[in-house]
Structures are given as C-alpha cells and as structure tokens.
Amino acid sequence: MALGAGGGASLLFGGGRAIADGPEFSSPLLFHSPRLEPFVDELPILPRIDSATVSIDATTTSHSFHRDLAPGPALAYGDRSYLGPVVVARRGRETTIEYRNRITTHPFAADFDTSLHGLGEHDRTAVPTSMHLHGGVTPPEFDGHPKQISRPGQGYTYRFPNQQEATTMWYHDHAMAVTRLNVYAGLAGLYLLRDEYDTGEPGNPLGLPTGAHELDLVLQEKIVNSDGTQSIRSTPVVPQGRWEGGAVGDVGVVNGKIWPEARVDRGLYRMRLLNAASFSVWDLHFSDDMQFWVIGMEGGLMDAPVRTGRVRLSPGERVDILVDFGSLEPDSMVELRNTEPAAPQRADRRGPDAGVHALPRRDRTRFHRRVPDTLRGAPGQPPLLGPIPAPQVFRNVSLSQPSEVRLPPSIMSLNNLTFDSDDIEMPRQGTTEQWNIVNATPDPHPIHLHLVTFRVLGRQAIDTLAMCARQPQGPLGIKWTPDPDPFVVEPLRGPEPWETGFKDTVICDPNSVTRIVVRFPTATSSASTPTRPSLQRCTRSTTTRM
C-alpha cells in the first residue's frame, strides 16, 4: 500500500516489488497474482457515518482492486463496492445498526466447504451472515454470534451501548464456517468510538490531529487473477471447495486498492491501522528508520505516546499512531515496510508488503503540531491505566492442530475441543484471571476475547515436544490444557512497548506461552453481562474452520 502525493517527498507503506518485478522463483504449488505496477491508484478515503442510527446492508458488488484489473465480484457493506463505511460512535450514545443481508451471489460460492460444522449445499446460494463488532463491550444478544445468522432477505437490529472509552474497533462478518470467505470478499469496516477527551474535533483536549489529518487504513492481503477476480486459494494442493488453513496473499491491499498512493501535507498525521488480513502478521517499520508514536491499541489510549520504529500486528489487531511527515524533504521517499518473515506457504515469494507511498505536497507549507507529552492522567485527560491487577484465578488454554486430522485440510483447535463442546471456560463475573495461552503449533496465531479487554504480561518460548511427551494430547474432543511452566526455556519477555495498554487481541507466537490478565466485569460494572466470554481466533477460527 502506498501513501503518496505529487511533487514532494514520498512515504511508502510496504511496496510489493516482488510482484511488480516478478518473483525470483515461481512454485507450481502456489497461485500467484499477475505482475502489477505499485502506486498507480489513489488511496481510497473511507467515508464516515456519524449517526445514532445506521442502515448497513451486505450486498453483492463488483470492484476493481487495481488500475490494470477489470472489476470482479466482491461483497460490501452499505452502498460501497468493497468494505464498509467508517461508523463513528459517541460514548454514552447508543448506536443502532439496522442490518440486512441482500447478497444475491457469493464470489466464493464454489469455495464453500460443506463438510464444515453447520455448513451445507444451500449455503452457497442462501449465504449466511452475522455482523460482529470486534472489540465492542455489548450485550451478548448483539455480539454477532456465529450461529446468529441472517440469510438473504433477513436482517437484525444491533444495539451497541458505547459505554467504553474512545478506541478503534471494527465490524465484520462472523457467520459459522464462512467468516474467512465473507471477510475476504469485503465484509469489513472500521468503527471509531469518540468520547469527551478524544472528540475527533479541532481543539480536542488531547491535541490530536483531526479532519483530513486523520487517516483510516484497512490492511489486507490478497491473491488476484488477471481477469480481476479474487482467489481465496493459495495452492492447488488443497482442492477447490475444501477449507485451506493459512491461505496467504501475495499483494497488499489498503482500503480496497493494491499498493495505492495517498497525498499528504507536511505535518503530523493520526493514522489508524487495522490488520484485516486472513493470515499474515505485519511487522511494520519505515525504510529510513523514521520514528513514529503509538498512542493507542484495541482497548483505547496509552498513558503517553510511545516512540518506536516498528509495530507488529496480527489479524484483528488495531494500532493508533502519530506520524510526522513534516520532517521529509522535498523529492525524498520513505517506505513503510513489512519485515515479518514469510510463512512457509509462500516461501518462493516476498509479500504481501504493506507499503505506503506518501509525498508531501509542494503547494502546502509545513504545519506544526506537537506530539502530546501525555494522553492520560493530566487535567482534561482520562485517568491513568494503572498497574496490572493481581490475578485471583489462573487458567491454561491451548492452541493445537490435532494429530489425527490429516492434511488437507488442516484444523485448529482451542483446548482440543470442537465449537459445540460444553466443556468451556466459565469465568466468574467480578474476578481477575491470568490466562496462559499455550501455542503448540509452528505458526503465530491471533487470539481475541469477546466482550472484555485484557493486559499482556508477556511471552515465553516452550519446549513443545517435551511438553507434549509429558502431557500428551488426546483425540479431538478431549480437553487438553497442558501446564507450560515446567517446559519454558527462557525468562518472561514483557509486552512490546505498544502492548502496554488494554487489548482485545494478542499475537501468540509459535511454540510459546502468552500470558494475559483479564478482569471479567459484573453486570453493574459493564454495559453487558458476559456470562460466557468466548475465546476465539481472529478472522480464521478454531475447530469450526471458518
């Protein structure tokens, strides 16, 4: 993706030259996008809707992802050709979303795997959908449960109380067994919550950029065909119509365009980034080591801006940053690159890069806006986050790929259980718990908790083989929650600098334990009453193979 402007210095969000110039080696076991020239499309600016009542339909559309590609079938929310509008909500003002499913045909109807839990042949045409507000503290009946579906011609009224602090959330489809297909096709959008401190207006108490200097960026990965159609498949090894775990794209898409260019003024910008990819983790940094400031993550603002040279995002994570383009000289160029190592599935190609090409305008004078010293604790600011509370309960939960399941397709499980198992975690309201999330797989996985936020304690690598030998995993359906402590091979590594605030999604590195602390609210301390909080993987799912 590229943020750029005519006639000045340029900033690139991860370039994608592997596809522009051609891969060094092309494996017959991988599908590839055609060669595409980067930075020839303008970055789409996502429209914002600031209203207490919003009507959003899921529709079948046609969309072009690049100047040199014809429009191809897609899905969208609202009247757009791809993705959805940015919904702006206000703390204390309920947002009502009148949702309707008006999908006529699905771009990936042939890719539906009808062997998955709850999916049948009729779903290819009567497409199930369910809207979920990712990060929302909502009453359970409005959480967008995978089985709370609306078929074409049906709908649902969602009521979001918006009692949280200002933050960046996103809404996306969450229907059973087709989440990955619906989101990849275009059913995703940002949801910005404002409050009395982060008002989004000029002169806001925090002194944050507003208006044209606040950019919303939805990052995705994709494989496109030369006729403009999208491909959800990355390898012919997995037959069409079978679920493919870890389908990896080879081009970066930002706001619906492949490596677009945006025009920026010479000054301080606020940029909200959402990783809405289906698989890839993005480790983002600027090519000239330009520093920027993280001011918030999924759960809201940090205590103070964190100066850093990189930020790592897994699918479902969001980051709120300040970037000063005023330091760029005319005709210079800087690129925001993705340096996350390539997954084994795409070992013959570099991508998807998440690049932004930004060119400060020559016809605009440099403007000055100071980065705030603090975001919490001072007059006119929300209270400090405070220390991480001491847990009262400790739980081990596991991520694994059951050994008796043959590939393809692969399967992911939480606690070695299926989606409809009754043997689930049942935290008590009002308690603070430490969850040790044991990732016994060779891939990083994003974990998202519905209806609550948490704090990250840190991570430790584990000897997975020794752990599994001492605490063997049984057949799928038998709960497996191994104790990782006897098998850790390093001291606890604390959270990354940008992870010190409240979060709802966390990266669980391979062969490691990720430790988080979460307080489960009571009915009187929260807008919702989450009696059965759910732990789910983002975008992709657990044993339901969404």
For position 245, what pLDDT does the model report?
Answer: 72
- Looking at residue 23, its pLDDT comes to 44
Q: How far apart are CA 338 and CA 166, in angstroms?
A: 28
Q: Taking CA 249 as the corner, what is the angle to CA 78 and CA 42, rounded to the nearest 5 degrees?
A: 55
Whole-angstrom distance, CA of residue 178 vs CA of residue 47:
27
Nearest alpha carbon to residue 352 among 339, 335, 362, 369: 339
Give the angle 290-295-296 at the CA atoms, nearest 5°.
125
Give dist(CA 346, CA 25) in Å, integer: 11
Res 174: pLDDT: 96
pLDDT of residue 60: 98
Helices (H), 234-310: none
DSSP helix/strand/coil, 98:
strand
Q: Does domain 2-360 have CATH number 2.60.40.420?
A: yes
**How many whole angstroms separate alpha carbon 124 and alpha carbon 462?**
42
Residue type, 142: F
Q: Distance of CA 138 to CAs 147, 163, 218, Å?
A: 17, 9, 23
CATH 2.60.40.420 maps onto the chain at 2-360, 393-537
List per-residue pLDDT tens for the chain, 546 residues long: 344 333 334 555 554 444 444 444 467 778 899 999 988 999 999 999 999 999 999 999 999 999 999 999 999 999 999 999 999 999 999 999 999 999 999 999 999 999 888 899 999 999 999 999 999 999 999 999 999 999 999 999 999 999 999 999 999 999 999 999 999 999 999 999 999 999 999 999 999 999 999 999 999 999 999 999 999 998 898 899 998 876 788 898 999 999 888 878 888 999 999 999 988 899 998 877 889 999 999 999 999 999 999 999 999 999 999 999 887 776 667 677 888 887 665 544 444 554 444 555 544 556 667 999 999 999 999 999 999 999 999 999 999 988 654 544 567 889 999 888 889 889 999 999 999 999 999 989 999 999 999 999 999 999 999 999 999 999 989 999 999 999 999 999 999 999 999 999 999 999 999 999 999 988 766 543 333 444 555 433 333 345
Rounded CA separation 69/35 (Å): 11
What is the bridge-based pairing of β-strands 131-134 and 167-173?
A: antiparallel
| Domain 393-537 of CATH type 2.60.40.420 | yes
Closest to 296 measured CA to CA, from 224, 413, 194: 194
Backbone angles phi, psi at 338, to 5 degrees: -100, 120
Structure tokens that stand for 2 in this block? 């590229």
